[in-house]
């Protein structure tokens, strides 16, 4: 869930919150998705992400290859 209000509510109830990139990162760790390819597909949409976060995750994925 990327909606800030919803994420805050979930956290206040003790739930762990992650966004789209967090889910894709976990899927890549488990061998279920190609992170870089998924990000490229997201870039073709109106998906918004802080460049610093995206860069850090892409670098992390490169290191694990």
pLDDT digits (tens, 9 = 90+) for 8-53: 999 999 999 988 999 999 999 999 999 999 999 999 999 988 899 9
d(CA 22, CA 57): 9
Whether 62 has a pLDDT exceeding 80, the answer reads yes
The per-residue pLDDT for 2 is: 56
pLDDT at site 60: 87
- The angle subtended at Cα 53 by Cα 6 and Cα 3, nearest 5°, is 10
Q: How far is CA 31 from CA 3, 6, 24, 26, 27, in A?
A: 27, 29, 10, 9, 6
Number of domains making up the chain: 1
Domain that holds residue 22: 4-63
Q: What is the pLDDT of residue 13?
A: 97
In this predicted model, what pLDDT tens digit does every residue of 24-34 receive, in sequence order?
Answer: 999 999 999 99
């Amino acid at each position: 869930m990327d909606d800030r209000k919803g994420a805050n509510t979930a956290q206040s109830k003790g739930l762990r919150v992650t966004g789209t990139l967090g889910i894709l990162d976990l899927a890549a760790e488990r061998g279920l998705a190609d992170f870089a390819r998924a990000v490229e597909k997201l870039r073709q949409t109106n998906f918004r992400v802080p460049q610093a976060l995206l860069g850090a995750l892409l670098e992390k994925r490169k290191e694990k290859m």
